[in-house]
Amino acid sequence: MANVAVTFTVECSCTEHGEEVYVVGSHKKLGAWDPLEAVRCTTTAENFPRWTSSPVSLTNGSRIEFKTVIRGPGGKKWEHGQNRLLQLSVPSHEARTNVAFTWGQPGVNEEDDRVSEMTGGFRRATSGGSEKSGPLTRMMESGSSMSRRGSRHLCKTRNGMVNEEMTRTPSLLLVDFREFQEAAVEHEKELDDIEERAKLNRLQRKMKSTQLIERMAKITDTVDPSRTVLLQGFNWESWRAGGGDFYNAVGRKVQLFHEMGFTDLWLPPCSQSVAPQGYLPSQLFNLDGSKYGTQQALEDLLEKCHKNGIRCMADIVINHRCGDRQDGEGRWNQFSSGMQSRPSFAGVADWGGWAVTLGDQYSDGSGMHGPGHSDGRFDAAPDIDHRHPKVQECISIWLRWLRLQVGFDGWRFDFVKGYGPEFVGKYCDKSHPAWAVGELWTDMNYDLHGLCYNQDKHRQTLVDWVNATGKKSTAFDFTTKGVLQEACRLTQFWRLRDKDGKPPGLIGWLPQYAVTFIDNHDTGSTQRHWPFPDDKVLIGYAYILTHPGIPSVFWDHIMEWGDEPRKKIGSLMKARRDAAIPVDAPVNIQCADDTLYLAEIGNPPSLRVALGPRPAGQPDMNYWTNGPSGHGYRVWVKRTGSTQKYSSLNASPEATPLGSPRRKKEGAVGLGPEMLTAETLKIMDVPQLQNLKERLQALLNATDAALAHRRANG
């Protein structure tokens, strides 16, 4: 039969920001009951709450079950009630028809079609499936066109009644075998990679390291930094969670992480440790001694993440290591590997005092080298001599074991200021991670007035470190964190543009190697060594999730702070995905003064963001559409499919940061018509209001004096 172009129109007013309406049904063109493959409906500010799909080509005369589903950062919401039944019967001379209905309400407005509610309690079919499944079962579960198929035919009994059970049952006779074959080939490749990893794991102590690394490279996931969003999957107190089984607790959230759009999950140190948080490791191969759970639970978590398309980053703590035995002089410098199950690893990471840097309080004098000239001190545990060849060999073997046996994909290197960056590059070469990031936390530049405007020296240290690794590792952008939280805390958004008009952090110089973040287990959590202001956290995320670099989100902000922050962060992540911001996207900063930061990101711009209490005004809404917004921030996203050549005609005036070479004239107030409103005053704190009052009073006094002078002199 001929095909009919069917357009679905849905009246739905119950969506929240970042959510969209989809039509899903039994036909493969409607996703075959897979909400990830459903037909997307769109709306505009003028048409809301009416959502309309693009035309879908369906066979005339077919009978199709369908429903609507809302998808967004918080997951999926299915329309309640029975499935709708579409009975297409369009005259042959007509090629188009429209199906209109209202979310949650029976009945439709028809145009040459037949749509009704299914009788008899029809529901979409579900499939059981097991974790250890073949290609067919995996297709039914994984989001292919076969996933969650509802019935494609009506089965009737001899008396003409519908047999509901048979009707709900998917029929493999109606499988699209082209799609089946494609999914089978993909699954076979995944199985080959898993088999190759298992083979390399068995042989890793019997192969030459060069040959092993070459074969590891072939099964390493290729990372696109422009699509990467990292989640720190723990905080300082996570070892207490889950009754000693934190890994299982994280595993229950993996689907949520996938739906929010996280590509990578950073997990806590996994080895047995003197401190429960894992940052004083002792027996490197003893993963059952961790307070977070067992080695098997960790491997299960990693496997679950991989099934959901999420890579896993191990926290690598190798600047220092705690001995588990004392030497003859009572120094804790005798180290055991903790490996019990694999004889081929015997002796690996069994160290003595020779592995400790000379001059360290735990050294017995048998080592080969003292600390490097720029190595930071860590007095709580023995500092390890990374220039020792055996130390390098042992750590490389351990990292390869974490990849091949345990299943980690990448590394987060802890406290890298304690040893040379060249060793980070060497360990990456010897373990071939998907990617790596280093924690280089150094002091920023301060003067008597507080944080200095110019932080070039601080970010140059990060650039030098990345370069010294051979660019084998990225770095956490501590410069951006320090400047951003100061700008938000003091409402000094002029800080967010450097003297050359670029972002002031590592993202302004080397964005493809910058991992931006708001807080972590050290700066925030219960330690709060350098916390971002709690009431400004979402403003911070509005910045890092719209700007270049690789953004990282902290566990507490999506798991401990409730649904609202999680939804808002999820909306910002979606805006970033929709805009397809490259990791090195150019930033056009249009304004950066006390109360407003306004920038457009991309070339041509695909995101526009405003931070601060001052309204930024509306941009050209033929080019932009409204995106996420909240207290102190607002985002616009480029309209999908817009081909309009864009130029910013209403750029805000140049920033004039206090203390910079462009400082304002003394006493200048600089209040534009949009800058000071009743709403602006409500969100200013006491010091800001007091400062504003004093400046306004001085201006009023000057105005009175000028007025008196004019009157006296005619």
Active site residues per annotation:
414, 439
Phi-psi category of residue 375: left, alpha or beta, with phi > 0 → left and psi -120 to 50 → alpha: beta
With contact defined as beta carbons under 8 Å apart, do 394 and 351 qualify? yes
- Taking the CA atoms of residue 551, residue 556, residue 559 and residue 560 in that order, the dihedral angle to the nearest 10 degrees is -160
Centre a 10 Å sphere on the Cβ of residue 508 and count the other Cβ atoms it contains: 27
**Phi, psi of 69, rounded to the nearest 5 degrees:** -140, 140
The Cα–Cα gap between 379 and 79 comes to 59
The Cα–Cα gap between 675 and 648 comes to 20
Query: With the C-alpha atoms ordered 286, 291, 294, 300, is the resulting torsion angle positive or negative?
Result: negative
DSSP 618-684: ---TTTEEEEEEETTEEEEEEPTT-------SSPPPPP--TTSTTPPPTT-----TTT--HHHHHTS
With contact defined as beta carbons under 8 Å apart, do 380 and 355 qualify? no
Cβ neighbors of 7 (< 8 A, separation 6 or more) are: 52, 53, 54, 55, 56, 96, 97, 98, 99
Residue 536 Cα to chain centre, angstroms:
19
Strands of the sheet with 624-630, listed across from one edge: 587-592, 597-601, 607-611, 633-638, 624-630
3-state helix/strand/coil string of 460-489: HHHHHHHHHCCCCCEEECHHHHHHHHHHHH
The SS3 assignment for 123 reads coil
Centre a 10 Å sphere on the Cβ of residue 137 and count the other Cβ atoms it contains: 17
The Cα–Cα gap between 140 and 137 comes to 5
Side-chain half-sphere CA neighbours of 475 within 13 A:
34
**Phi, psi of 77, rounded to the nearest 5 degrees:** -125, 115
Residue 366 Cα to chain centre, angstroms:
46
The Cα–Cα gap between 307 and 194 comes to 12
Helices and strands counted in the chain (H then E): 16, 26
The radius of gyration of the chain's CA atoms, rounded to the nearest angstrom, is 30
Cβ neighbors of 490 (< 8 A, separation 6 or more) are: none
With contact defined as beta carbons under 8 Å apart, do 585 and 603 qualify? yes
3-state helix/strand/coil string of 22-34: EEEECCHHHCCCC
**Phi, psi of 492, rounded to the nearest 5 degrees:** -125, 70
With contact defined as beta carbons under 8 Å apart, do 140 and 146 qualify? yes
User: How do strand 39-42 and strand 20-25 relate by DSSP bridges?
Assistant: antiparallel
Least Cα distance to 444 among 460, 467, 424, 421 occurs for 460
What are the CA-CA distances from residue 310 to residues 140, 302, 303, 409, 512 (Å)?
20, 9, 9, 10, 20
Cβ neighbors of 283 (< 8 A, separation 6 or more) are: 271, 272, 289, 324, 335, 336, 337, 338, 349
